[in-house]
Amino acid sequence: MQHTATALIELGAVFFGLGVLGRLAWRIGLSPIPLYLLGGLAFGQGGLVPLTGIEPFTELASEIGVVLLLLLLGLEYSASELVTGLRRSWTAGLIDAVLNAAPGALVALLLGWGPTAALVLAGVTYISSSGIIAKVLADLGRLGNRETPVVLSVLVFEDLAMAVYLPILTALLAGVGIMGGLGTVGISVLVISLVLVLALRYGRYVSAVVDSPDPEVFLLRLLGAALLVAGVAARLQVSAAVGAFLLGIAISGSTATNASRILSPLRDLFAAVFFVVFGLNTDPSAIPPVLPFALLLVVMTTTTKFLTGWVAAARQGIRRMGRARAGAALIARGEFSIVIAGLAVGSGAVPGQLAALSTTYVLLMAVIGPVAARVVEPVAHRVVNTVAGSRS
């Protein structure tokens, strides 16, 4: 009884603290993710106030957080949007993948962490945070801007890339080796195509399994289906995250829209726990040694994302200021970088310092992204004026 009371008090304090941090973050126009991570660092091993007794709950809750993050990522775009996105933006998507995965891979190899860690860090630096970006674009009133569809289509491509990347990563983390890895590439591409065809042709049947006019029943069925699929996927060594993601893609139409609405608060809750737990499991004393590399990655990948947005917007005939806005908007990294790092660290196949490096990197990028999106216009104006001034 005494134990339950302590656990409730600790959990309550953690959630309340996160709530205060989250409010503070959005007030100043930032994503709460870095603050959640900092919260985790403060509570964890070697932190200020070590929490004890709630680990069984927080560990499971953080797993559910990953499942919900990926399920909602899958729900975010309809199958037809994914297919159109792939057809229209594959060049920009490929530029994005090459430019932004390379710095992560290079730094991991530089640190001598091996090819698997290189693939992990490539994913961490590649994937933008669609959550932060969508929120920032809406807050800044940029949804109607001409560069916004370009930004969104890059995010759609990243979404699809995740569907191929995650199964491969899972296989490699499980120690399949390069040849086995190539096999999984084939299998995952096949599975993704199958799920897309299924969603396009028979999406309503998949949707019908979970759909219900009653919100309570709908929520239970959705959550049940997500955890079932995730659990079975984990049993089959495909990772829970991938299972949830594919289920998200397969659910379509109005069911998908309703599902995102109904699951968003739940996702926010469990994802917050996930970020805190990731922070908890990161040893703060491991951060200083990797800090220079984190800063190096920040500089490199801020530049490469900016270039990606610039080039993608230029290809659509958008003017310079719009290209700059598109570039700055894409910079933010967040939830999915942590998901990738979390999968890797959890498997034990990569050095523990990778957690410290990823935490530091995402802490910085989740702050820099929204700030960059905000200041890009005044800065660009000043640059243009200086250039014009020096010419005259």
Q: Is there binding between residue 130 and another protein (CB under 8 A)?
A: yes
Q: Is 106 in the site for another protein (CB under 8 A)?
A: no
Stretch in the footprint of another protein (CB under 8 A) among 152-160, 191-199, 265-273, 339-347 = 152-160
**162: contact with another protein by CB under 8 A:** no
Binding part of the chain for another protein, among 13-21, 99-107, 151-159, 178-186 by CB under 8 A, reads: 151-159
The interface region with another protein, picked from 74-82, 100-108, 188-196, 209-217 by CB under 8 A, is: 74-82
Binding-site size for another protein (CB under 8 A) equals 31
Segment contacting another protein (CB under 8 A): 37-45, 100-108, 143-151, 298-306? 143-151
**DSSP track, 66-97:** HHHHHHHHHHHS-HHHHHHHHHHHHHHHHHHH
With CB under 8 A as the contact rule, which of the stretches 16-24, 31-39, 82-90, 184-192 interacts with another protein? Answer: 82-90
Is residue 81 a contact residue for another protein (CB under 8 A)? yes
Residues 301-360 that bind another protein (CB under 8 A): 316, 318-319, 321-322, 325
Separation CA 222–CA 277 (nearest Å): 25
Choice between 109 and 266, CB closer to another protein: 266
Q: Contact with another protein (CB under 8 A): which of 134, 164, 198, 219? A: 134
Single out the segment in contact with another protein by CB under 8 A; choices: 44-52, 135-143, 204-212, 224-232.
Answer: 135-143
Torsion, CA 112, CA 353, CA 33, CA 367, rounded to 10: -60
Nearer to another protein, 146 or 204 (CB): 146
The residue within the footprint of another protein, chosen from 31, 58, 62, 153 (CB under 8 A), is 153
1 CB burial (10 A radius; 0-12, 13-18, 19+): exposed
Q: Among residues 318 and 357, whose Cβ is nearest to another protein? A: 318
**Per rule CB under 8 A, is residue 152 in the interface with another protein?**
yes
d(CA 104, CA 124): 7
Are the C-beta atoms of 85 and 153 separated by less than 8 Å?
yes
How many other CB atoms sit within 10 Å of the CB of residue 107? 25
Q: How far is the CB of 392 from another protein (least distance, A)?
A: 20
- On whether the CB atoms of residues 79 and 249 are closer than 8 A, the answer is yes
* Three-state SS annotation for 312-366: HHHHCCCCHHHHHHHHHHCCCCCHHHHHHHHHHHHHCCCCCHHHHHHHHHHHHHH
Candidate ranges 84-92, 112-120, 193-201, 218-226; the one touching another protein (CB under 8 A): 84-92
Give DSSP secondary structure letters for 23-47.
Answer: HHHHHTT--SHHHHHHHHHHHSTTS
Using the minimum distance from each CB to another protein, give the nearer residue, 68 or 155. Answer: 155
Cα 327 versus chain centre, distance: 18
**Single residue of 30, 41, 51, 156 touching another protein by CB under 8 A:** 156
Residue from 69, 117, 142, 343 that binds another protein (CB under 8 A)? 142
For the CB of residue 243, give the shortest distance to another protein in the complex, in Å: 21
DSSP H or E stretch at residue 1: none
Query: Would you state the structure tokens that stand for residue 146, as one six-digit string?
Result: 């001409």
Tokens 């069911």 belong to residue: 255
CA dist., res. 195 & res. 193, Å (int): 6
Among positions 88, 135, 204, 374, the unique one binding another protein when judged by CB under 8 A: 88
Q: Does 127 bind another protein (CB under 8 A)?
A: no
**CA geometry: angle at 127 spanning 124 and 132, to 5°?**
110
Q: By the criterion CB under 8 A, which residues form the site for another protein?
A: 76-77, 81, 84-85, 88-89, 130, 134, 141-150, 152-153, 155-156, 257, 261, 316, 318-319, 321-322, 325
